[in-house]
Amino acid sequence: MTATKIAILGCSGRMGRLLVETGRADPDCRVVAGVEGPGSKALGQDLGALAGGSPLGLAVTEDARAAFALADVAIDFTVPAASLAHAALAAESGTALVIGTTGLSAGQLETIGAAAARAPILRAANVSLGVTLLLALVEQAAVRLPAADYDIEILEMHHRHKVDAPSGTALALGEAAAAGRGVSLEEASVRVRDGHTGPREAGTIGFATLRGGDVAGDHSVIFAAEGERLELGHRASNRAVFAKGAIRAAKWLAGRPNGLYAMKDVLGL
């Protein structure tokens, strides 16, 4: 079996370094490039040493186009603007792309979807296998527990450095709950409560956001009714689970037909 050739986009970030480490340890993968933006202090450094391991003999580059040409799959954990540029390069080259960037707007998601007509692209707000299964469970619970009786609240906590709120995973859980209820999350969600808000409106999906410390990611979905409460949740104790999920997704995506994929496709859900 030929090893899947992987390029890491945003290779000097916390997730990028983990992806390099995880990818080089996987016997079915070969890390072939690491990319950073112009002006990054990582440019020119050895990719393996940057990730805290032995040298790989690969210098970090800002030439994303060349990295796409070398790779079977590129993995992108960057920022929305960079992810859009990378989606365009995927469409240009036909190279598969895994996008784990969060904070993407509806318009940006549409742009990525359009690029997927010309390349296999997998986008996920959370690439952990546990969260992927949690999304399916939340949707099933929302189908079966009537909105008139069960209120849905989504609670998430992340480290102090996270810049978007609610988290992409929390929003994905909200989308799963809304899909189960057959409603639009945009119309049903309640993001802020402050002051005299009045009683809770039936059928809404509430969000609560916590930030602090080094929390890798805690998510809970609560179905609260008179007399009982069902809680479905996931806790990530470190970011390694995300790197492992992304590498698994990359190996699965290599060689797939053009189209937009999700982590549920990787697990066959």
Which residue ranges are tagged as binding site for (S)-2,3,4,5-tetrahydrodipicolinate? 159, 168-169
* Residue 91, both tokens: 């469409």
Q: Which residues are annotated as a binding site?
A: 10-15, 36, 100-102, 124-127, 159, 168-169
Q: Which of 5, 86, 161, 162 is catalytic?
A: 162
- Specify the DSSP element, H or E, that contains 178: helix 168-181
Rounded CA separation 268/14 (Å): 29
Is 264 designated active site?
A: no
Angle, CA of 251, 241 and 167, to the nearest 5°: 105
Distances (CA, A) of 197 to 152, 165, 224: 17, 21, 19
Q: Are strands 29-35 and 73-76 parallel, antiparallel or unpaired?
A: unpaired
In the chain, how many H helices and how many E strands? 10, 11
Residue bearing tokens 């000097």: 12
Is 219 designated active site?
A: no
Coil/strand/helix, residue 186: helix
Dmax over CA atoms of the chain, in Å, equals 62
User: How many of the other CB atoms lie within 10 Å of CB of 94?
Assistant: 11
Rounded CA separation 49/59 (Å): 10
Rounded CA separation 112/76 (Å): 13
Q: Which of 5, 158, 219, 251 is catalytic?
A: 158
Q: Which residues are catalytic?
A: 158, 162
